[in-house]
Structure 1
Amino acid sequence: MAMIAAFWAVPAAAKGCTLGAVGQTVQLRIGDTGRAAMLHLPAGFSRARPAPLVLLLHGSGGTGAAMLENSRLAKAADDHGFIVLAPDAGIPLEKGYVWNIPGVPTVSGRIPGPGDADDVAFLGKAIDWLAANRCIDTSRVYATGLSGGGRMTSWLGCVATDRFAAIAPVVGLRAGNPLASDKRVPDPATCRPSRPLPVIAFAGDADGTNPIQGGGAGYWQYTMATALRRWADLDLCRTGPVQRDLTDKLYEVRYASCRAGTEVTGRITRGAGHVWAADNDAMWTFFARYRRR
C-alpha cells in the first residue's frame, strides 16, 4: 500500500497540475498501473485551474500516440481548452493493442478472458490519477474513440456511466452486446447505465467495417439506428428521431426532450468510410453543454 500511495501522492507544495508541458504532448505512465498514455495539455492551460478531460481511445490494433496524431484532437484541445489523454489498450496484439469489452471477441477472434487487463478499471484509475494531480475537473470528463475505441467508449457509457458527462463514439456506437438469440438487437442486460447519459455518435454511410446498416463482424450486427434508439430509450427521450441535413454531405438524427436534459444524436457523413468521421469542434460543442451531476 505504501508504494501505491507514493505513486499517487501529490507534493504538499503543489498548487495545481504539475504533469506534462503546456501546449505539448508527452508520454507518461499512469499512476501505479504501468500503462502508457499520451497526455496533451492545451495551449493556455492554467495549472491552477483544473480543465475538462477528453479520453481518446484508439481503434483495434492501434496506439494512443497514433490515435492522437490521426484524430487531430490536440488542435481542438488547444482551441477550446480541454486536456486529452490517449492511452494504449490493455490487450497486446502482434501490432498495437485492443480493448477488453467482456463477452465480445476482439479483431483476433478471441473473447477476452479473466487474465486479460480490465480496461474499465484502468481508465477509471487514469481519471482518478489526473484528478489527484489536480489537473482535471471531474465533473467534465468525456470519452470518444474510433472503431474498437468507439465500441469501448460505448461500453464505458453502459458500465461506468457515473464517470462521464457525455460520450462520442466514432464509427463504433453500440448500446450493449448483440443479443445471443437475435443479433439484430442489443442485449439489454449488457447495457444498464446508472443515469441518463448524453450521446453523440459519428459515422460514415460507406463504412464497410462497422456498417451503419448492420451486419459485419459478430460484435457488430445491429444497425446504428437501433443503437441510437436504444440510447434514446435508456435516456427516456420523448421526441425523435428527427432527421435533418446539416450540409449536402452530412445529416443528423436526433432524439431530444430526454431525462435530465440529455440528448442522443447521430451525425452521418455521406460517402465516408471507416475513418475518423467526427467534426472535433462539433464534438466539443456537444460535450461543453454537459457536466456530470
Structure 2
Amino acid sequence: PISTLLPAQPRVHSAGGDGEPSTASTADERGFVLAAANAGIALDRGFAWNIPGVPTIAGTIPTAADPDDVAFVGQAIEFLAARGCIDPRRVYATGLSGGGRMTSWLGCVASDRFAAIAPVVGLRAGNPLASDPSQPDPATCRPSRPVPVMAFAGEADTTNPVAGGGAGYWQYSMLAGMTRWAALDGCRAGPAARALGPVRWEYRWSGCRQGAEVIAHMVSGGGHSWVADNDSLWAFFARHRR
C-alpha cells in the first residue's frame, strides 16, 4: 500500500565528484531512501552533470552525444517506484555545487517528478541570460507546477559567489535566482529575514501558490562546502508532497 512507501531523496554530487552522500546519517535517522546518483559526462577526475547550454567545470558545453542526465534520474525514480521502494509523491532532490545546479535544473525541467528541491551552494533558476548574464533566462526554466525551493549558501563562497560573477556557468547572484523562483511560484511577499543563530540567517518568501515555499539559508563565513543544516533540510522536504 502507498502508506508504507518511503520518501526518496536523490542526492546529486558536485561537478568532478561522485555520489558519496553527505546526508546518509540523516536518512537512517529519519527513515527515507537516499539515492546517490553519478553524473554522465566523464572528466579527468570524476563526472559532470549535463545541463544543456551551460559549460561544465572543464569549460565545455554538453553536446547531443552526452548522456541525458535528466532522463537517467527519471528512470532511477521509476525503477525504485516500480519495485515498491519509494512513494513517487514524495521524491526530493538535493546536491552540492554542480549537484546543486543540477538539482535546480531538475526543478526547472522535471517538476512533475519532484515534490521539492534543495540546492546547496548551487541555486540556479535557469541559464544565465545571454544578453545580461546577471539575470536568469526565463525561457530556460519553466516548471509545470510551483516548486518548493530551499537553498543553502555560504557568504564566503568564492567558487559560486553569492553576489554573482565567477565562471560562465554561474554569473547571476543567488538573490536573482531566489527572486526568480519566488516569481515562478507566485509568492506574494518577501523576503522576510530572521536570524537562526550567530552565523545562520533565513530569508523566506510567502504566499506562494499551491503551498510552495521559497527559502534561503545563508551562513556567515561559510565557504564552498556542505553548509546545509540536514535537520532543517529534511523538515522542509517532509512538509511537501507532489
Give TM-score scaled by structure 2 length. Answer: 0.98
Instruction: Choose the corresponding residue for 2:14, options 50, 59, 73.
Output: 59
5 Å-filtered alignment, 1:85-100, equals 85-100=35-50
Does the aligned pair in 2 maintain the 1:212–1:224 contact within 8 Å? yes
**Pairing 1:133-212 to 2, within 5 Å after superposition:** 133-212=83-162
Residue equivalent to 1:49: 4
Q: Please provide the CA RMSD for this pair.
A: 1.2
SS of 1:202's partner is strand
CA distance in 2, matches of 1:174, 1:127: 22
Distance across 1 between alignment mates of 2:118 and 2:165: 22
Residue number among 6, 11, 24 corresponding to 1:74 in the alignment: 24
- The one-character-per-residue Cα deviations of 1:109-133 (angstroms, maximum 9, x if unpaired) are 1000000000000000000000111
| Percent identical | 62
CA contact (8 A) 1:60 1:149 kept: yes
2:37 and 2:196 mapped to 1: Cα distance? 33
Distance in 1 separating the partners of 2:174 and 2:45: 29
Deviations 1:108-165 (A, max 9, x none): 1100000000000000000000011110000000000000000000000000000000
Match of residue 237 from structure 2 = 287
Q: In structure 2, the residue corresponding to 1:162 is in which secondary structure?
A: coil
The answer on 1:244 being equivalent to 2:199 is no
Aligned-pair CA distance for 1:49: 2.5
Question: CA–CA distance in 2 between the matches of 1:204 and 1:176?
Answer: 21
CA distance in 2, matches of 1:277, 1:98: 21
Which amino acid is 1:147 matched to?
Answer: S
| Per-residue CA distance 1:169-189 (angstroms, 9 max, x = gap) | 000000000000000100000
What are the superposed Cα offsets for residues 4-37 of structure 1, whole Å, 9 maximum, x if unpaired? xxxxxxxxxxx99xxxxxxxxxxxxxxxxxxxxx
Tell me what 2:53 maps to.
103
| 1:263 has 2:213 as partner | yes
Q: Deviations over 1:41-62 (max 9, x none)?
A: xxxxxxx922000000100110
Q: Distance in 2 between matches of 1:207 and 1:252?
A: 17
Report the Cα distance in structure 1 between the residues aligned to 2:198 and 2:90, rounded to whole angstroms.
33
Residues 205 and 271 in structure 1, CA contact (< 8 A), matched pair in contact too:
yes
Work out whether 1:219 is the aligned partner of 2:169: yes
Taking the aligned partners of 1:225 and 1:278, their CA distance within structure 2 comes to 17
Moved over 4 A (4+): none
Q: Displacement of 1:248 after TM fit?
A: 1.1
Aligned length: 242
1:243 deviates by 1.1
1-side partners of 2:212 and 2:25: how far apart?
Answer: 27
CA distance in 1: counterparts of 2:228 and 2:28, whole angstroms: 17
Q: CA offset at residue 79 of structure 1?
A: 1.0
Q: Aligned partner of 1:126: which letter?
A: A
Q: Match of 2:218, SS?
A: strand
The 8 Å contact of residues 49 and 135 in structure 1, kept in 2 or not, is answered as no
Flag structure 2 segments of 5+ consecutive residues without an equivalent: none
Taking structure 1 as the reference length, the TM-score comes to 0.81
Aligned-partner Cα distance in 1 for 2:44–2:223: 25
